[in-house]
Structure 1
Amino acid sequence: MRFAANLSLLFPEHVSFAERCARVAAQGFSYVEMLFPYDLHPQEYLLPLEDHGLQPLLINTPIEADHFGLAALPEAKERFRADFDRALHTAYSLGVPAIHVMAGITQHIEAQHWQDTLQENLSYALHQAAGTGITLQLEALNRRDLPGYAYWNPADVLTIVQAMNSPQLKLQFDFYHSLVEGLPLLETLQSCRDMVSHVQIADPAQRHEPNLQQHPEMLQALLYLLNTQYLGSIGCEYKPAAQFEQGLKFLVILQQAGLCTTPEHTSCT
């Protein structure tokens, strides 16, 4: 397994993109995630990534002050298409192989209505992404942080992905969101494993670095992924309790468990 540093959450806002790239590379990372790389021209992101030998693996579709994703909002179909096209252009420009398509807040929309909208918008997105090699992903987000989001249970995401029946649409599984919801982590992961193309990890308390002693179920789930020949990445999508570098101590536990065979955090077998 390979670990990817989330450049968006691992550092305070004042840290420049170039410095973030330098610091994760200095700690041995070769892979990164970026949540919303839309403030700069793609080339301004690409140059620091290339300078430090970093491969971006994942971006999200844009969010704004008035929404947290548009894919399931019936009144925003044109806005979604414009946002998705922008995300697709950005991903293609940066060589990013996956886009998390953000569904949005649907708590005041009749379920069948937003589900039909989501299916229509996903069909559009899959058509646009055809031939690019870019995978689209859906992720369940917990109700504590995002009340009213379209789905909080990976089982619901699995149903949507299976209904779309496209090899280009997969499930993004985050340990953090499942643990916050009180779901049994290993069983939940096992139930949707065949559709999982990307995994993320964080401690459920305050979204800091994983506390594997307090939450051994995270270690069990990682070992399960290893034993099932998971070929995707583990995104370190958390907010360090202190400095980024200090928060990497949990990776030593993974080495001791046989998940990592080298000092570099990117090479786990």
Structure 2
Amino acid sequence: MKKILLLFPIFLLLMACGKNNDVKCDNAQLTICNTTETDMVVFGWDSDQMEDTLFPGECTVKDFGEVDISYDMFGNETNRQTTVHRFITKSGTYLYEMENCVKWIFAPSGYVDITHCLNGVFDADQGEYDVDCGGVCPPCKNIKVPCESTLKEDEIDWNNGADDDLTYSFHYVDDSKMRIKFSFYFGQELIIKIPVQQLPKTNRKFIIGSNFSNAEMVYYNRFEYLTPHAGEFLYFVSTGEGIGKFEFCDLKFTGALTTKIGTGSLSFEE
């Protein structure tokens, strides 16, 4: 009888431990957070298409569905119902199986330095669409053309006249730049090269220049070629999938013989 009395509390303890180890919930959730101050995480869930981002201070929450894990009184697993999901970054793939209803972890890898997104400068060479936004930075809220209210559709308004008889346009991609030619009456042409392989889906600002990340512009007036000053801006305003307008304000085009200042809005469709 004494042996039974001694074993009975142990039996109750084993039953309690086994019961406490059980995990059962309708929807387990895994939270992965980026706690850095200047790095971004590029990732994807269950897909090699890494199209999601975690900026500093942001988290992603993944639903894992039902979790049901049971143990007997001796701690042996008697039932397991879980799911496994992949967290994929450029640095590796991580498999997670939830054994709790709620779990929080640091992002394991895939960090990208986004210091340039915080410096108050338009870093076009870093892929920004405007100051500290676009590309790997947070999305741009609203990129507007400064002279929007004075623009005329499909026209370049020069300081000494206007080009308003657009006859055709065409484009091709060369060395990761899209080249577009607009032709006007009497042989005038405007050629624009932008550092993309397809038209942007959102509004975007380009810096005019000659390196790989800049937009290039050349205007031909039948006598000479004129180019705008480097450091000025060209805007692309998206009006739909593969459709948009190239717009610019008071650009000063200079050639060997002529200087022209123009403001323009030119529609284009891929």
Same fold by TM (over 0.5)? no
TM-score computed with the length of structure 1 as normaliser: 0.21
Task: Give 1 or 2 for the bigger CA radius of gyration.
Answer: 2
Higher RCO structure (Cα 8 Å, ≥6 apart): 1
Normalized per residue, the structure richer in strand is: 2
